[in-house]
Amino acid sequence: MIEREVRHGLGVVNVNLLAVQDLRKNFGQFEAVKGLSFTVEKGESFGLLGPNGAGKSTAINMITGLFPPTSGEIRLRDIDIVRRPKQAQKTIGVVPQEIALYQEMSAKENLKFWGRMYNLSGKKLEISVDGVLEMIGLTDRARDKVADFSGGMKRRVNIGAAILHQPELLIMDEPTVGIDPQSRNHILETVKRLNHEGMTIIYTSHYMEEVEYLCERVGIIDHGQVIAIGTLRDLRESIGDRSRIMIMLDGETFNQQEIINHLEGSGLSVDKDILFKENLLTAFHKEPQNILGGLIQYLTRDGIKISSVEIVEPNLESIFLQLTGRSLRD
């Protein structure tokens, strides 16, 4: 699927806003990004989902021209970002993972500073800054110094700084990590609104709920590689639309191997359909209600105590689990 997308993207002029092909980054002997390929169309909201250390920030930093890749191509329309990062940056807005603001300056002064960096001045700068303050919901706090802001408010100023020059492509690197729920919701709504107004978004996160809420298409990244890519529907179909039955067992009462042996006999294939992590037994099945009764009966018959049972519809976490055997937040 990746291959086809990229060939299509590079072959047809102006279909894709961004085309990343076989991107690699080594830090010494360590390969942080190992052959990443994907495309983003104009107007799209594309999610890059992956656990800590997957290589998201490293990829984003190369795409935004912060540092060059070890090899690979990145094109923004016909601009080669690797060779001409400055030119590409004129139409890209970046919200980096680390907040970068002048603590002693007010929100408004910070935004003005960034606006001048994008060559805005005078009335244009003023209008742009006021519009952005409104957008990020900080008009009332515009004159307060950033040092007194909550983490979420600082993050909102950071987002404001990235959109002052009305970029065509907004790239956000985990913009909601470690902030209060109110700011988080505000940020998600702001991103949604910007996308509806036509801005193309690349949204990086390890929270699958955010990516599911915001993004039409998702690349799942692990150990520096895209392990799945497509629309949410494509990805759900790729795991056969299977729900997850999660059964929490009482630790003292069961033998993992015995359960696995039994379930193997029942037709669920252990390495694909069953996962055991400590006391949590996870079974994937298209029609969970058809097997749940039998499963519980089997477990309880042998005196195993069950602490809880949950059925989860197919989601991005299930896909990651099925592909890697790990959970996104392990």
What residues from 167 to 186 belong to the interface with ligand ATP (CB under 6 A)?
174
Rg, C-alpha atoms of the chain: 23
CB of 321 to ligand ATP, least distance (A): 18
CA dihedral 132, 18, 59, 23 (to 10 degrees): -170
Residue 209 is classified by DSSP as: H
CB of 133 to ligand ATP, least distance (A): 28
What is the total count of residues that contact ligand ATP (CB under 6 A)? Answer: 14
Pick from Mg ion, ligand ATP, none: which does 58 bind, CB < 5 to 8 A by kind? ligand ATP
Task: Give the type of residue at 293.
Answer: G
* 57 contributes a contact to Mg ion by CB under 5 A: yes
* 32 contributes a contact to ligand ATP by CB under 6 A: yes
Q: How far apart are CA 182 and CA 198, in angstroms?
A: 25
What residues from 73 to 132 belong to the interface with ligand ATP (CB under 6 A)?
97
CB of 54 to ligand ATP, least distance (A): 4
* 50 contributes a contact to ligand ATP by CB under 6 A: yes
Judged by CB under 6 A, the residue of 16, 37, 57, 318 near ligand ATP is 57
Judged by CB under 6 A, the residue of 14, 30, 265, 278 near ligand ATP is 30
List all residues 6 or more positions away from 325 whose beta carbon is below 8 Å from its beta carbon: 275
Pick from ligand ATP, Mg ion, none: which does 52 bind, CB < 5 to 8 A by kind? ligand ATP
> Residue 47: exposed, middle, or buried by beta-carbon count in 10 A (0-12, 13-18, 19+)?
buried
Do 218 and 47 meet the contact criterion of CB atoms below 8 Å apart? yes
Q: How far is CA 261 from CA 28, 158, 267, 268, 271, in A?
A: 44, 53, 11, 10, 12
Task: Output b/e per residue, 252-279; b: 16+ Cβ within 10 A.
Answer: eebeeeebbeebeeeebeeeebbbbeee
* 322 contributes a contact to Mg ion by CB under 5 A: no
Pick from Mg ion, ligand ATP, none: which does 55 bind, CB < 5 to 8 A by kind? ligand ATP
Decide whether 64 or 318 has the Cβ nearer to Mg ion. Answer: 64
* 64 contributes a contact to ligand ATP by CB under 6 A: no
Q: How far apart are CA 88 and CA 232, in angstroms?
A: 29
Output the residue with the shortest Cβ distance to Mg ion.
57
- Where are the alpha helices (H) located in 118-201, listed in sequence order? 122-135, 151-163, 181-196
Q: How far is CA 188 from CA 139, 165, 169, 173, in A?
A: 18, 20, 16, 13
Decide whether 72 or 115 has the Cβ nearer to ligand ATP. Answer: 72
* 58 contributes a contact to ligand ATP by CB under 6 A: yes
CB of 23 to ligand ATP, least distance (A): 12
Task: Return the closest-CA partner of residue 227 out of 40, 71, 1.
Answer: 1
CB of 176 to ligand ATP, least distance (A): 12
* 176 contributes a contact to Mg ion by CB under 5 A: no
Task: Give me the residues that bind Mg ion (CB under 5 A), please.
Answer: 56-57, 97
Task: Give me the residues that bind ligand ATP (CB under 6 A), please.
Answer: 27, 30, 32, 50, 52-58, 97, 174, 206
